[in-house]
Every structure is written in C-alpha cells, then in structure tokens.
Amino acid sequence: MIEVRNLVKKYGQQTAVDHLNFTVEQGKIYGFLGPNGAGKSTTMNMITGYIASTEGEVYINGHNILEEPEKAKKCIGYLPEIPPIYPEMTVWEYLSFAAELKKIPKGEREKAICNVISQTKMEDMNHRLIRNLSKGYKQRVGLAQALLGYPEIIILDEPTVGLDPKQIIEIRDLIKGLSKRHTVILSSHILSEVSAVCDYVLIIDHGKLVASDTPDNLSKLMLGSNSLELTVKGQEEDIRKALDLVEHIEDAVFHNSPIENAHEITIKTTGQEDIRENIFFALADGKCPILKMQSTNMSLEDVFLKLTDDKEEENVSSL
C-alpha cells in the first residue's frame, strides 16, 4: 500500500530524515511516534508529496509520489499539523472548495460532502463560519477535508494537538472508526494516544526508524532482553554458585544492599522464558533466602524512552 524506501531529507547540513524504510499494509492504524524534531512531519510531507526527498522513494499503491503525483495523491487524504482551513468560509463552502480542488465531479460533490460531514459528525455545523468553531470542530473540518474523495489512505499529522481532553477522545474515536474503510497513519509524540488508537507503531528518533511493531510486541520484545531485580541473603560466592545452575541467565550484577548480609542483584535473562521458579529453587538449595524478586515490566512508555534516549545507545534497529 505504502512503501518507503531509503528515504532521506537533508536541510543544508542537517539530516532530518535518515534512510527510512517501512511498509504500510491495508486496513490498519499506524502510529508514527517520536519526540519533537524526530522527523515525523518531514516524513509525512514526503509521503504526501508536499516536499521532495533528498534521496529515496515513496510508492503509494505502486505509484511513485514524485513520478506519478496525481495518481499517488488520489489515494491519500492528508491532514497536516496546521489544517489548511479558511476561517471566513462556512463549513459547507470550505468543503465544496476542497471537493473542487480534489477534482470530484460536480454531480458527485454534494453527496461526497454530506458523507464526510456525517463521518465527522458535523451535521449541525454546515452553515457555521469556520472562524466561530471550537478547536475540536476546526480539526473535524480538516479531517472531513482529508476524507473527501474516499482516499484509501488517511495521513494525520498530530491530529489531537491543542485539543481539550473531551475533544481528544472524540477525535480519537473518529480516527478509530476510519480504519473500517481506510488505512490510517497518524503521527504523535503522545504515547497514550498511540497505545489507545494504533494497531502498529513506528518509532522514529533523529530521523531514523528505531523500532516497528504492535504496541504489545514492542513491550514483549523489550522484555525479552529483560531483567529481574532480586534481594538475596547470603555470601556473594554462594549466591553465584546457586545461580550458575540456572539456565537462561545472561548476566548477574551484584549491588550493595542496605540490608545486612544481603545483596541486590540485577539478572538479565535470555529469551522469553520465565525463570523465576528455577531461581527460587536454586537459591533455596543453596540456602540463600530470597527477600525480594521482581520482573521488570516495560510499558510502551519505557520502550519509547529507552529507544529515544538522547545518549547514542546501541543500534536497536534489529528490533
């Protein structure tokens, strides 16, 4: 449906988007997640043909966005970060104008506008001046404009920025409803939004894709390289001997404990095995009582923070 190949955007010396590769499949909601300045808007502007890439290609349903822009753009409805709305027009006038720009045949315009007005639940606002609408409704007008012409793909850049919590919930519900008929890509720096709305998450940082998977899998994958926190009583040597007998331990790091004759231990496990019981029995045999044992649960928020940490960490693109 959308194929992004080796996409690069440079502004002078600065690389805003750095060799991005990903594919978007039909009928899902994709979240494009990253901190401010990560390159989300720049990527969306290249996918939608607003700006040209420095290198790389974007294919929309097999059409290269730069070589066959008309065909490619016909498949896309775009709501940029700042919606292109005209405050002095009524909702109906603006959508008529947008329908004309999208080259929807004259005879089909009224029906198309009625449809998007109903989809965005704006039936009572048709004749209101856009300038007098609340921010939430202005966003709906932008969304209605993106939906005009039945594009298969809807791209929304930070669609809930600046809205109040009630408006945010309403817009999110509208977006969820869109996936029945459209493939949706939305960008956001809000984790809860992406977890609540998206089937699939692409995490971008400094212009690079650092992870892409379902929100659940991302948490699980991070758990794979994960750790247990223990407080154990006994001599370090005895504890180490006992732990040596347990499979799937990659690493055990001992720290001082405020408790006398005890150690705090961070155990890194390999694979997805739950080895807590094995650790329990091994330490019991070694006569080293466990005072505390806890597996670290990573939320999507932890994953995001770990992956987009400012420190140049190891390359995690293999996720």
Ligand X SMILES: Nc1ncnc2c1ncn2[C@@H]1O[C@H](COP(=O)(O)OP(=O)(O)OP(=O)(O)O)[C@@H](O)[C@H]1O
Under the binding rule (CB under 6 A), the answer on residue 160 touching ligand X is no
Cβ distance to ligand X smaller for residue 120 or 187? 187
Cβ distance to ligand X smaller for residue 158 or 170? 158
Q: Which one of 18-26, 34-42, 141-149, 309-317 is the stretch in contact with ligand X (CB under 6 A)?
A: 34-42
One-letter amino acid of 63: H
**Angle at CA of residue 189, ends 186 and 192, nearest 5°:** 85
For residues 274-313, which are near ligand X according to CB under 6 A?
none
Cβ distance to ligand X smaller for residue 34 or 286? 34
With left for phi above 0 and alpha for psi between -120 and 50, is residue 12 left, alpha or beta? left
Helix, strand, or coil here: 317? coil
**Residue from 4, 33, 38, 202 binding ligand X (CB under 6 A):** 38
Under the binding rule (CB under 6 A), the answer on residue 227 touching ligand X is no
Cβ distance to ligand X smaller for residue 190 or 196? 190
Q: How many residues bind ligand X (CB under 6 A)?
A: 11
Min dist. Cβ of residue 128 to ligand X (A): 29
Q: Which one of 29-37, 142-150, 241-249, 295-303 is the stretch in contact with ligand X (CB under 6 A)?
A: 29-37
Under the binding rule (CB under 6 A), the answer on residue 20 touching ligand X is no
Min dist. Cβ of residue 157 to ligand X (A): 7
3-state DSSP helix/strand/coil % of the chain, to nearest 5: 35, 30, 35
Q: Which one of 30-38, 82-90, 123-131, 293-301 is the stretch in contact with ligand X (CB under 6 A)?
A: 30-38
Min dist. Cβ of residue 305 to ligand X (A): 16
One-letter amino acid of 135: K
Does residue 211 contact residue 218 with C-beta atoms inside 8 Å?
Answer: yes
Helix, strand, or coil here: 230? strand
Min dist. Cβ of residue 220 to ligand X (A): 26
One-letter amino acid of 21: N
For residues 163-192, which are near ligand X according to CB under 6 A?
189
Beta strands in 130-207 (DSSP E): 153-157, 183-188, 200-205
Cβ distance to ligand X smaller for residue 34 or 77? 34
Cβ distance to ligand X smaller for residue 37 or 177? 37
User: In sequence order, what are the beta bridge partners of 11?
Assistant: 14
Under the binding rule (CB under 6 A), the answer on residue 37 touching ligand X is yes
Q: CB pairs under 8 A, 24+ apart, for 301-304? A: 301/191, 302/219, 302/222, 303/203, 303/211, 303/218, 303/219, 303/222, 304/33, 304/191, 304/203
Under the binding rule (CB under 6 A), the answer on residue 16 touching ligand X is yes
Min dist. Cβ of residue 55 to ligand X (A): 15
State CA 278 to chain mean position distance.
37
Sign (positive or negative) of CA dihedral 71, 77, 83, 88: positive
Under the binding rule (CB under 6 A), the answer on residue 52 touching ligand X is no
Under the binding rule (CB under 6 A), the answer on residue 42 touching ligand X is yes
Which residues make up the interface to ligand X (CB under 6 A)?
Answer: 11, 16, 34, 36-42, 189
